[in-house]
């Protein structure tokens, strides 16, 4: 019935986390998912696993486009939201390049960019929980 009980448990834990999460936490989960997929893609490149590399990169692309970029509110977010959308588009183009050319450096570039944004997002969440204004 369960081919991999650990994977099944982890999937159930993730689904439970998503169901109970506030909108800020959901974005953090998207960043975490993209980071995990990109880490796997780099491991697949090192192992010369073309299928695994492509699947992992496409999972990251899907998270960036259908999760992070799609969640931007361009009307209320103004210039910042527009800049983030452009940055997410750039990341996707770099990941497509990485997929075609097995370019681990392009994946590292995207991981670094996502890490910067995720760090700022997490800091903003901590400030909100502590009652500080987002502007400091």
Q: Could you list the residue range(s) of the whole structural domain that residue 104 is in?
A: 23-129
- Cβ contacts of 80-86, under 8 Å, gap ≥ 24: 84/117
Quote the pTM value.
Answer: 0.80
Average the pLDDT over each of 19-28, 33-42, 83-92, 102-111 and give the range with the smallest value.
Answer: 19-28
* Assigned domain for 10 exists: no
Domain count, the chain: 1
C-alpha to C-alpha distance for 17 and 5, rounded to whole angstroms: 18
In the structure encoding, which two tokens stand for residue 78, read together? 């103004």
What tens digit of pLDDT does each residue of 34-83 get? 999 999 999 999 999 999 999 999 999 999 999 999 999 999 999 999 99
Query: What mean pLDDT is reported for the chain?
Result: 86
The CATH number assigned to the domain holding 105 equals 1.20.120.340
* Assigned domain for 2 exists: no
């Amino acid at each position: 019935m369960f081919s991999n009980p650990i994977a099944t448990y982890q999937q159930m834990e993730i689904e439970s986390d998503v169901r109970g999460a506030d909108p800020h936490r959901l974005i953090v989960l998207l960043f975490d998912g993209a980071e995990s997929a990109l880490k796997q893609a780099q491991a697949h490149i090192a192992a010369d696993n073309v299928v695994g590399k492509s699947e992992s990169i496409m999972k990251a692309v899907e998270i960036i486009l259908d999760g992070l970029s799609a969640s931007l509110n361009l009307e209320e977010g103004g210039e910042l939201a527009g800049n983030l959308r452009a940055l997410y588009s750039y990341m996707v183009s770099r990941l497509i390049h990485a997929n075609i050319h097995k370019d681990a450096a392009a994946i590292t570039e995207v991981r670094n960019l996502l890490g910067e944004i995720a760090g700022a997002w997490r800091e903003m969440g901590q400030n909100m929980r502590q009652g500080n204004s987002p502007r400091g």
